[in-house]
């Protein structure tokens, strides 16, 4: 047994969250180790939905064009009640798109994962071990040692930090006794993926459908090309293993298709859970993705949540490992990961559960009451509800203490005019801290001694936007400046030059290693101009 060189970060698990973490950390120049039991990408699709926030991250990784052939816009989702009447409709935000991409998408997971891995393979500072198993995790005050079984041979891998992206059964979480909190949702469902032929496609709805029927709630999702997915609730007397048999699965699909209408791609029984880790950090170990949380699939947020996790964590680890923040500032920055993500996951899971409760009501009387209530709320005319309205803001963590409607929200990514061709804002400004202003204000003195910040004035030729997305955002939130974090969330906003000085002074105090001096400066009257 030998000990290898020390890495900055080790990642256990190489699914979508692990691959994104490896890419984001590797692009920062950090030395990264990844281990994964499987030799190849899992060949069967699991996740099927991806939103514009995640596409913006894939843009940062340089893979957004590579995954585009495997994606399509999400159709509307229509909800039908007890008597087959339309009771709710989920849509997407309309153009111009706030994040620079179609807000809701369906995708085919295996080739998207292949594209992520191909990008990571281009990074010489990321070492990926496939077909190996992490047997034991040994954390201490200075780092983490992993015991790795490599085809019968043992080796040790040492890293300063560890991210566990090792799935719902997470050996890392289990070994470190990091419990999950039950958010009170536990139901058996069958998930079926079908590659439907032309004959079958002609029989199916042209929108995704939620059948909110007490007898058997179920969902049909329109995936890319001829991929269709059904999520079918199971009754208490049904054997989850039995319904996975092809002949039994086809019986459940008989309402829509026959075996002559397509080919079964996957049929798997699951218990849909709502779980979240009690603690997301234990010393130098962090949980992410399914290791940290599981939620029902009704809005297709499972994979998106995992990628939000590692996007949040990666820039914070980078700041600490590069020495940009130290001591208490570094500790609080890393602590903010779990504080922010746990609260966000709990809130979104609560909203997903509410959607699930609309779909899953088994009592016919209560289901009719539900239908009547939803129709009464919209005056009998079902209105469009964008899926993005369901996604909450950050409400706690590394955010300005001055509340505003935009604090904790995603900042938009407008298209910027360029002589050669329009560019999305992040391509020009990068993905670090950004101070975006509706007009030009001199702030250079206020930024001295702080992490590098890109200053973006939308009234300068360099950042003249095409569609007015950011300008409309500033008007809507009644502000003229926004300080944007590396994960695209808004630290805080300012409506006046004086408020901007206060915002930057607060940021200095929160992020500066010489915190006491900066706190005194704030208390002396925000002397930053």
Condensed to tens digits (0 to 9), the pLDDT of residues 359-402 reads 889 999 999 999 999 999 999 999 998 988 889 999 999 999 99
Banded model confidence at residue 407, pLDDT cuts 50, 70, 90: very high
Regarding whether 134 and 35 lie in a shared domain, the answer is yes
Query: Could you give the number of structural domains in the chain?
Result: 2
Banded model confidence at residue 355, pLDDT cuts 50, 70, 90: confident
Cα 393 to Cα 299, 300, 320, 343, 347, distances in angstroms = 16, 18, 25, 10, 9
pLDDT at 253 over 80: yes
Regarding whether 124 and 24 lie in a shared domain, the answer is yes
Which among 322, 354, 386 is the end of a domain?
A: 354
Write out the residue range of the structural domain in which residue 469 sits: 399-523
Condensed to tens digits (0 to 9), the pLDDT of residues 422-436 reads 999 999 999 999 999
Condensed to tens digits (0 to 9), the pLDDT of residues 20-59 reads 999 999 999 999 999 999 999 999 889 999 999 999 999 9
Please say whether the dihedral angle defined by the alpha carbons of residues 217, 74, 97 and 15, taken in this order, is positive or negative.
Answer: positive
* pTM of the complete model beyond 0.85: yes
Q: Is 380 helix (H, G, I), strand (E, B) or coil?
A: coil
Banded model confidence at residue 4, pLDDT cuts 50, 70, 90: low
Which among 331, 354, 377 is the end of a domain?
A: 354
Percent of the chain with pLDDT over 90: 81
Which segment of 66-75, 296-305, 337-346, 483-492 scores lowest on mean pLDDT?
Answer: 296-305
Which segment of 176-180, 306-310, 383-387, 403-407 scores lowest on mean pLDDT?
Answer: 383-387
The pLDDT mean for the chain works out to: 92
Percent of the chain with pLDDT over 70: 94
CATH of residue 33's domain is 3.50.50.60
Regarding whether 512 and 447 lie in a shared domain, the answer is yes
169 in any annotated domain: yes
192 in any annotated domain: no
Banded model confidence at residue 266, pLDDT cuts 50, 70, 90: very high
Categorise residue 525: left if φ over 0, alpha if ψ from -120 to 50, beta otherwise: left
Could you tell me which of 295, 20, 57 has the C-alpha nearest to residue 163?
Answer: 20
Mean pLDDT confidence for 477-505: 94
CATH of residue 483's domain is 3.40.30.120
220 in any annotated domain: no
What pLDDT sits at residue 446? 66
Which among 326, 354, 382 is the end of a domain?
A: 354
Cα separation, 64 vs 44, whole angstroms: 21
Regarding whether 295 and 150 lie in a shared domain, the answer is yes
383 in any annotated domain: no
């Amino acid at each position: 047994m030998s000990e290898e060189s020390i890495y900055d970060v080790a990642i256990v698990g190489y699914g979508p969250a692990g691959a994104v973490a490896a890419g984001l950390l590797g692009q920062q120049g950090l030395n990264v180790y990844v281990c994964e039991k499987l030799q190849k990408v899992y060949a069967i699709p699991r996740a099927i939905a991806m939103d514009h926030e995640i596409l913006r991250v894939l843009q940062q990784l340089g893979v957004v064009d590579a995954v585009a052939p495997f994606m399509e816009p999400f159709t509307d989702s229509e909800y039908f009640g007890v008597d087959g009447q339309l009771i709710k409709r989920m849509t997407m935000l309309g153009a111009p798109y706030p994040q620079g991409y179609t807000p809701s998408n369906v995708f085919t997971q295996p080739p998207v994962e292949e594209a992520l891995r191909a990008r990571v393979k281009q990074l010489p500072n990321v070492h990926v071990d496939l077909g190996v198993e992490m047997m034991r995790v040994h954390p201490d005050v200075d780092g983490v040692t992993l015991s790795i079984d490599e085809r019968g041979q043992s080796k040790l891998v040492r890293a300063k930090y560890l991210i566990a992206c090792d799935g719902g059964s997470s050996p890392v979480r289990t070994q470190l006794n990091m419990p999950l909190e039950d958010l009170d949702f536990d139901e058996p469902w069958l998930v079926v993926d079908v590659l439907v032929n032309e004959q079958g496609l002609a029989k199916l709805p042209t929108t995704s459908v939620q059948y909110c029927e007490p007898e058997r709630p179920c969902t049909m999702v329109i995936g890319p090309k001829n991929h269709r997915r059904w999520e079918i609730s199971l009754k208490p007397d049904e054997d989850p293993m039995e319904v996975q048999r092809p002949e039994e699965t086809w019986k459940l699909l008989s309402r829509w298709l026959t075996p002559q209408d397509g080919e079964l791609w996957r049929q798997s029984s699951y218990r849909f859970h709502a779980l979240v880790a009690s603690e997301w950090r234990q010393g130098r170990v962090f949980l992410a993705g399914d290791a940290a949380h599981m939620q029902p699939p009704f809005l297709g947020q499972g994979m998106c949540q995992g990628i939000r996790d590692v996007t949040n964590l990666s820039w914070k680890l980078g700041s600490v490992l590069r020495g940009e923040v130290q001591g208490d500032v570094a500790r609080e920055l890393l602590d903010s990961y779990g504080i922010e993500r746990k609260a966000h996951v709990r809130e979104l899971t609560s909203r997903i559960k509410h959607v699930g409760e609309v779909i899953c009501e088994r009592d016919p009387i209560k289901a009719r009451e539900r239908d009547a209530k939803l129709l009464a709320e919209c005056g009998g005319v079902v209105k469009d509800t964008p899926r993005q309205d369901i996604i909450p803001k950050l409400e706690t963590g590394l955010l300005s203490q001055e509340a505003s409607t935009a604090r904790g929200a995603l900042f938009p990514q407008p298209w910027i005019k360029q002589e050669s061709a329009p560019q999305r804002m992040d391509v020009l400004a990068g993905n670090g801290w950004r101070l975006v202003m509706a007009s030009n204000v001199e702030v250079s003195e206020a930024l001295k001694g702080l992490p590098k910040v890109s200053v973006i004035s939308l009234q300068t030729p360099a950042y003249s936007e095409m569609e007015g997305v950011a300008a409309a955002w500033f008007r809507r939130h009644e502000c003229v400046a926004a300080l944007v974090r590396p994960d695209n969330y808004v630290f805080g906003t300012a409506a006046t030059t004086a408020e901007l000085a206060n915002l930057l002074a607060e940021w200095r105090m929160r992020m500066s290693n010489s915190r006491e001096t900066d706190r005194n400066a704030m208390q002396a009257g925000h002397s930053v101009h």
